Amino acid sequence: MTRSASRNQFLSSVLDRRFRRTSRWPPRNAWLICCSTSPEADPVPAVTTTTDQAASLRKLVSASKTTTVPRKGRVISVTSGKGGVGKTNISINLAYALASMGRRVYLLDADLGLANIDVLLNLTPAYTIDDVLSGEMELRDIIADGPGNIKVLPSSSGVVEMAELDEDRQAHLLEKLKDLDDDMDYLIIDTGAGIAANVLRFSVCADEIILVVAAEPSSMTDAYSVIKVMASRYDIRSFNLLANSLESPKQGERVFEHLQKVSRDFLQLELNYLGGIPRDPKLIKAVRSQRPLLEMFPDSPAAKSIKALAQHIETSASVPRSLAETPRSDKPLRFWERILQWREKKN
């Protein structure tokens, strides 16, 4: 059995076990048709230069509009189907890159109950979101000054009540964020991983969703789960896919092609590929030093890719997220309006 055929068989068996009870998921053979590569295909080449890794992101930048789009209060959710794919590090460094452009950036640690942005940035916040929800503090009272002029909204770690935050308290938190609207250009929300309701709500209300995926079967399977649930349950039609920790640009393109084919055929939606972030040993050193990669190693391959991503975001317009958000005026709902809409539907 060839290497490609063996990989396809493994992918098929994993996905078949995971989704065999889900009627919307394609049968086993359909997955092989969507995602297989030919047995004759060459293996993914090793990285030979550091500049090639950011090629796809640089293409996006060069194709972007030259004029800067309106930035006030732009809310970006960074999420993933599986934990451990580098989502939080991308959130931190994307926030750092945008702030280095002179933008006012807030970073919300929304991995409730397992928050760690404060640890990764060597911060010791006196108060957290938990104190806001308890009524002891206002949102502005918990803001911590992070590196590169990032404003961090820290959360709690190891607090069961935060991990099991109910819908009303989460809506209350989201509404509190409106107090920051006049002071920010970007709000980056680092969500938890998975498809739990208290994770998805942050992305449902965001202007844009960046879905981080790794080039491994479990990450791809779980990424599709996020897409499927948000598309079918919340009618979200716009997803920005970011492949992380890649061996080569081609590896990221294959991940995107696999997920795009299944999403197009079975959910009737198109994904947007933001590009890939290379595997970078400098990231491990930055994490151990509790500093952003872009601050410690600004010229590393991954840092250059994240800078290109930030530049693309800065020069691109926000895409309408759902069919329900294309009214006659063609003006997408704002973050705060979605929160109100969500609560009205609930009531």
Report CA Rg, the chain. Answer: 20
Q: What is the pLDDT of residues 74-90, one digit of tens each?
A: 999 999 999 999 999 99
Q: What is the pLDDT of residues 188-201, one digit of tens each?
A: 999 999 998 878 88
Distance CA 225, CA 135 (A): 35
User: What integer pLDDT is reported at residue 205 of this predicted model?
Assistant: 84
The pTM (predicted TM-score) of the whole model is: 0.76
User: What integer pLDDT is reported at residue 70 of this predicted model?
Assistant: 43
Q: What is the pLDDT of residues 19-64, one digit of tens each?
A: 443 433 333 222 222 222 332 333 333 333 344 444 444 444 444 3
User: What integer pLDDT is reported at residue 161 of this predicted model?
Assistant: 56
CA 91 to chain centroid, in Å, comes to 8
- What the block records as the tokens of 10 is 């493994």
Query: Which domains does the chain show, CATH number per domain?
Result: 59-346 (3.40.50.300)
From 108, 75, 81, 336, select the one nearest 196 (Cα to Cα): 81
User: What integer pLDDT is reported at residue 22 of this predicted model?
Assistant: 41
* pLDDT tens for each residue of the chain, 347 residues long: 555 445 444 444 444 444 443 433 333 222 222 222 332 333 333 333 344 444 444 444 444 333 344 446 899 999 999 999 999 999 999 999 999 999 999 999 988 767 899 999 999 999 998 888 888 999 899 999 999 999 999 987 645 455 566 677 777 777 788 778 788 999 999 999 999 887 888 898 888 999 999 999 999 999 999 999 999 998 898 899 999 999 999 999 999 999 999 999 999 999 999 999 999 999 999 999 999 999 999 999 999 999 999 999 999 866 555 544 443 334 445 665 665 565 555 55
User: What integer pLDDT is reported at residue 127 of this predicted model?
Assistant: 92
- DSSP assignment string, 132-169: HHTTSS-GGGG-EE-GGGPEEE---BS-HHHHT--HHH
User: What integer pLDDT is reported at residue 141 of this predicted model?
Assistant: 92
> Other C-beta atoms within 10 Å of 27: how many?
12
